[in-house]
Amino acid sequence: MKNALGRHILCEAYGCDPGVLNDRKIVENIMVEAALTAGAEVREVAFHKFSPQGVSGVVVISESHLTIHTWPELGYAAIDVFTCGDAVDPWNALDYLVKQLRATNTVSSEVKRGVMQHAMVRIS
């Protein structure tokens, strides 16, 4: 991660188990375990269950955060894992999440944060 302040992974997870995606407590537990599996230090946890369906939440870690927004009716979850420093690998957390959500397909990308090497940069 040379010259970057952090690594930010954005993941589109498809084919996830709708029952898992719609259960606030299960999603919360999976997210916390993902952070711990990656070696992160959990600081705060906040999750919300929507009516009639869906869960959104954040796990704040010393190294940054993990967030999720679910659409159980579509079997879809939008996930991001952002870690700073070299001690925690965000891919380890994401691999755990994807497995626990039972995703059948994912599209993920990593952005190096805090570096000015992106193709499009707007500075104001």
Q: Which of 11, 16, 65, 84 is catalytic?
A: 84
User: What mean pLDDT value characterizes the chain?
Assistant: 92
Domains of the chain: 6-113 (3.60.90.10)
| 38-48 average pLDDT score | 97
HEC profile for 57-109? EEEEECCEEEEEEEEHHHCEEEEEEEEECCCCCHHHHHHHHHHHHCCCEEEEE
**Which pLDDT does position 1 carry in this prediction?**
47
Q: Which of 62, 64, 109, 118 is catalytic?
A: 64
Q: Which of 69, 108, 109, 118 is catalytic?
A: 69
The answer on pLDDT for 51 being more than 50 is yes
Confirm whether 11 is a catalytic residue. Answer: no
Tell me the pTM.
0.90
Confirm whether 64 is a catalytic residue. Answer: yes
